[in-house]
Amino acid sequence: MLFGAGMLATIARNYEDGDQMLVGAIGCGNVGFNTLRAFNAKGHQVIGFDPSRDAHKRLAATFGSSSAAESLAQLRIAEAVFICVPTDPHPENGGADLRIFEEVINELSKVTRELDSCIRVVVQRSTCPPGTASKMSKQLATEYSVNPSFLSKATQWEDSITPPRIAFSGNATACRTLREIYKDFDSPFFVSEAHKCIEMLKYIENTIDCALISLWNEYLAYADRIGLPRTEFSAIMDALGDRPRFSSVIRVPGGAFGKWCFPKDVAAAVNAMKEAATPSLILEATQARNQILLASAGDNPYSTSDLLEWRHDRLSLTPLARELLAQPSAEEPHVDPSQSWREA
């Protein structure tokens, strides 16, 4: 057995004493591994489980063999367990595929009922549609919280150790545990008792970015069609920030949003709205415009930090962005909007 009674007794203590905690993660890919790495850098002990042998080896090499669990059940020694498994588009409808997440919750429902379980809170780190936490939390014999990551693919570590925001939900006990975990992080906090509030926040942030990218791509295509020089189009983007309300709305057009979370989160949001009988006209149009760009220009290969910089209280184009905007766009083909999630 990897963990003995001695270690269980050592970590079975009251976290309010201000000492480090033992934090676990299930799913140790990009999000899970960087989550553990950041917590470890802040002084917490960590343990992770991932069925991938490569992920297991990376955990052992980074944190030590005792931090690389051989089974999910071994995370019962952790005081908080973060679920960081993928929720990729479901092949049937494009919505968030929660099958892996549900399997993890089913296993944790057994673990949290064990007499020697030290788990105080299970944390939904995976991006899931609003309403997921309310359903899943009922299966567990412990507290529950939603605490999504806000990572950019190009700056995963930077966004983990210095998150652009820390948001979590739950009752007073769950939130107290999360505050203790994050006590040494210097980031803006947003806390709510409502799980749906934090779940929706993550979708709103990502889909606003996507909608802005698609809107700028649409205007760039229109400008090209009517013969407006690209230099003049860039001048419009520069001038927008003169009005404070538009200081952060520019995005660099010319390529599709295709990195990591954006396509899947738009598709998941559209499907969730359909299930709630709510029209998703703007998000569907965002998908359709993005499919046109995917077919004509492909993904934008650059990160946001490569293309935009905060200067003089506004977002501004970097020299690279100006160079890219000066290049002509490919002819845009027609794309059936109904197929957008299938091809994302």
- Which pLDDT does position 1 carry in this prediction? 38
- Which pLDDT does position 14 carry in this prediction? 38
- Residues contacting residue 71 through CB under 8 Å, at least 6 positions apart: 49
- Which pLDDT does position 153 carry in this prediction? 81
Residue ranges covered by each domain of the chain? 5-193, 201-343
For residue 241, give both structure tokens.
Answer: 């920030």
pLDDT tens-digit map of 198-234: 999 999 999 999 999 999 999 999 999 999 999 999 9
Extract the residue ranges of the chain whose pLDDT is less than 50.
1-17, 337, 340-344
For residue 64, give both structure tokens.
Answer: 């030590």
- Which pLDDT does position 19 carry in this prediction? 65
Single-letter code of the amino acid located at 104? V
- 124 forms beta bridges with 83, 146
Using DSSP's 3-state secondary structure scheme, residue 24 falls into: strand
- Which pLDDT does position 343 carry in this prediction? 41
Read out DSSP for 29-86? SHHHHHHHHHHHHTT-EEEEE-S-HHHHHHHHHHH-GGGB-SSGGGGGG-SEEEE---
CA distance 204 to 266: 9
> Residue 200, Cβ neighbours under 10 Å: how many?
18
Output 158-163 pairs: Cβ under 8 A, ≥24 positions apart.
160/34, 160/35, 160/37, 160/38, 161/37, 161/38, 161/41, 162/186, 162/187, 163/187
Our separate counts of H helices and E strands in the chain read 14, 9
Q: Are 286 and 207 in contact (CB under 8 A)?
A: yes
Using DSSP's 3-state secondary structure scheme, residue 196 falls into: helix
Dihedral angle sign, alpha carbons of residues 174, 179, 181, 185: positive
- Which pLDDT does position 336 carry in this prediction? 55
For residue 26, give both structure tokens.
Answer: 């299930």
Indicate if 201-343 has the same CATH topology as 5-193: no
- Which pLDDT does position 147 carry in this prediction? 98
Using DSSP's 3-state secondary structure scheme, residue 168 falls into: strand
CA distance 294 to 186: 38
CATH code, 5-193: 3.40.50.720
Radius of gyration in angstroms for the set of CA atoms belonging to the chain, rounded to a whole number: 22
Nearest to 55 by CA among 76, 39, 78, 34: 34
Q: Which CATH class is domain 201-343?
A: mainly alpha
- Which pLDDT does position 342 carry in this prediction? 46
CA distance 117 to 142: 10
Classify strands 22-26 and 45-49 as parallel, antiparallel or unpaired: parallel
- Which pLDDT does position 11 carry in this prediction? 45
- 168 forms beta bridges with 191
CA distance 216 to 249: 10
Q: At what angle do helices 195-225 and 230-240 cross, to 10 degrees?
A: 140
For residue 145, give both structure tokens.
Answer: 């919280």
- State the maximum Cα–Cα separation within the chain, in Å, rounded to a whole number: 74
